[in-house]
Amino acid sequence: MKHYRRFFALMLAGVVLLACVGCGKAPGSASLTEPGTSATEPTTRPDINLLREVEQDGLVLRVFSEYQYKLTGEPFSLTASITNNTGRDITYGSGSGMPNMHDEIQVRIAPDFIDMDTYGKIRPAVMRFATLKAGETITLTIRFLPGEPRGEYQGDLSEQEINWYPAGEYQGTALFTWYTGTKENPGEEKKLRLEFPVVLI
């Protein structure tokens, strides 16, 4: 008889333990945090927010944003990168070679966001060719103003009046131009294009 009582007592303890698994959670509810994060940590770091990426022929073009949303009338930065995963060196086009001219990756935001790094600079009409080695990544950070110049071109952005764009979603484009040949004999021109959203609030 004692053996039966002990058996039933153990069975009852097991049922109670099973019933308590998930106590404090509604049935079917999920955790509010992602794996590897605590309740006090944001699940997305705004300084490494990947907007979009595209891969073609072993090349990966990415655009990152400091924050998901941009403030109307305030400057902001975007980062673009190109990674060569082709397993071989490739040739790409590079224009003027001047600082901050973004020759490796062209980034535009329609209708006509101001590129603060290139505004007022003259780009010499000289095409050079450079090599992106296998496994190498080129990263560029571009500063933008969400507006367009008002009136005549002033040359100095600090003296330029700006027509600010209203809140809304705008379309950005990143473009990487590369060639199938060498620097000495570039060969066929190819383009890798990536579209991404820019949201003003």
If one compares 170 and 119, the residue with the highest pLDDT of the two is 170
- Pairing type for strands 105-109 and 49-56 reads unpaired
- For range 84-112, the mean pLDDT: 84
Q: Which of 171, 200, 193, 179 is nearest to 62 (CA)?
A: 193
From 44-53, 57-66, 107-116, 140-149, the region with the lowest mean pLDDT: 44-53
The HSE-up count of residue 57 (CA atoms within 13 Å, CB side) is: 13
The helix, strand and coil proportions of the chain, stated in percent and rounded to the nearest 5, come to 10, 40, 45
Token match 């070679």: residue? 97
Amino acid at 42: P
Model confidence at 176, pLDDT cuts 50, 70, 90, reads very high
Q: What percent of the chain has pLDDT over 70?
A: 69
Whether a cis peptide bond, with omega within 30° of 0, leads into 197 is no
Q: Which of 12, 21, 91, 23 is nearest to 59 (CA)?
A: 91
Taken in order of first residue, the domains within the chain and their CATH numbers are 46-200 (2.60.40.10)
pLDDT (tens digit, 9 = 90+) per residue, 13-62? 444 333 433 333 333 322 222 322 222 233 333 446 888 999 999 999 99
The burial class, CB within 10 Å (0-12 / 13-18 / 19+), for 119 is: middle
CA 156 remoteness from chain centre: 29
pLDDT of residue 127: 73
Other beta carbons within 10 Å of 131:
13
Distances (CA, A) of 40 to 4, 22, 24, 47, 67: 50, 21, 19, 17, 19
pLDDT (tens digit, 9 = 90+) per residue, 67-81? 888 999 999 999 999
180 in helix, strand or coil?
Answer: coil
